[in-house]
């Protein structure tokens, strides 16, 4: 007899959770906030919004489905099943945090604070969750398929990301490497580089794109195309600045060969989950085979 399908509810700790863990009591947390010109009322309000949304989502899960709960900090230790349905309750960034651990599972993004969160990836209000979940279980939901980016080392280690992958020094100081792209090869010293998807093109990538006055067209979220930028390349007798931006698609790749020990590659801003490059080691960026299956409409 097969097990019932499982709903995995993903959340992150609220600011109130973190304040209480650090300061022990509400009174001490309130004193800490007041010393910085803030009030515990605001923190309480946001905590209530998330807990209310979680309660609404939980109440909407049918009794014949299994349920699991996981916090953001535990994602790297949680095993998702192929037929799981994932409910992400929180900010847009939490969807990016969980995407790298998925392989085709449908993701329903629930926005507990529409006045604060843009809702690009968490598109559904808590009361709508029940109808959206029903559409998913009945096979009637519409998916918004999103491109992801993959980085792989020459020793076989890999990671994937929804927004972008950064390669550089962990402290963002100067990194030395060789970059190979579009048939060209150049030795560089820079603050690192990012390789971005269309989803990431609305965030960090767009900021770099604007500051560099690039003529490249940013990709759209479902588009199977990646765009990359080098940050603050330094010209010198031994390092160049001619390969500072580009794009690739299909089977094309971007390769970086470390000429500094301890360079890292990480995705979506999660620096704790990274690949480490020793001198001479290569990292290759490409389109990931996996895509995020984001449930957009019922």
SS3 of residue 267 by DSSP: strand
User: Domain 6-140 adopts which CATH fold?
Assistant: Rossmann fold (3.40.50)
Torsion of CA 244, 248, 252, 258, to 10 degrees: 30
What's the pLDDT tens digit per position in 75-132? 888 999 999 999 999 999 999 999 999 999 999 999 999 988 888 899 999 999 999 9
Q: What is the pTM of this model?
A: 0.86
What's the pLDDT tens digit per position in 209-252? 999 999 999 999 999 999 999 999 999 999 999 999 999 988 89
Q: What is the reported pLDDT for 194? A: 96
Q: What is the reported pLDDT for 76? A: 85
Cα 84 to Cα 47, 54, 56, 294: the distances in Å are: 27, 18, 19, 13
What class has domain 147-291? mainly beta
Any idea where the domains of the chain sit in the sequence?
A: 6-140, 147-291
Cα 99 to Cα 87, 162, 210, 217: the distances in Å are: 12, 6, 27, 25
* Residue whose token pair is 């195309």: 225
How many residues in the chain?
298
Percent of the chain with pLDDT over 90: 73
- Tell how many helices (H) and how many strands (E) occur in the chain: 6, 16
């Amino acid at each position: 007899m097969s097990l019932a399908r499982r709903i995995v509810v993903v959340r992150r700790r609220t600011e109130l959770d973190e304040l209480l863990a650090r300061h022990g009591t509400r009174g001490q947390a309130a004193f800490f906030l007041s010393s910085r010109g803030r009030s515990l009322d605001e923190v309480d309000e946001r905590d209530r919004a998330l807990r209310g949304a979680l309660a609404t989502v939980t109440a909407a899960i049918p009794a014949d489905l299994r349920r699991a709960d996981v916090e953001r900090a535990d994602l790297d230790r949680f095993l998702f099943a192929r037929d799981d349905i994932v409910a992400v309750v929180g900010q847009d960034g939490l969807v990016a945090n969980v995407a790298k651990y998925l392989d085709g599972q449908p993701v329903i993004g629930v926005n507990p604070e529409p006045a604060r969160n843009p809702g690009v990836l968490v598109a559904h209000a808590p009361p709508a969750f029940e109808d959206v979940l029903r559409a998913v279980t009945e096979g009637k939901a519409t998916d918004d398929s999103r491109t992801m980016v993959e980085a792989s080392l020459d020793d076989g280690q890999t990671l994937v990301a929804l927004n972008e992958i950064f390669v550089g020094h962990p402290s963002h100081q100067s990194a030395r490497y060789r970059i190979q792209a579009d048939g060209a090869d150049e030795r560089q010293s820079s603050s690192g580089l990012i390789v971005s998807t269309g989803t990431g093109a609305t965030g960090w990538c767009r900021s770099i794109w604007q500051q560099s006055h690039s003529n490249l067209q940013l990709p759209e979220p479902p588009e199977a195309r990646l765009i990359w930028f080098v940050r603050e390349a330094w010209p010198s007798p031994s390092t160049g600045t001619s390969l500072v931006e580009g794009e690739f698609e299909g089977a094309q790749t971007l390769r970086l060969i470390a000429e500094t020990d301890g360079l890292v590659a990480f995705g979506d801003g999660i620096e704790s989950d990274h690949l480490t490059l020793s001198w001479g080691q290569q990292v290759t960026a490409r389109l990931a085979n996996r895509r995020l299956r984001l449930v957009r409409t019922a």
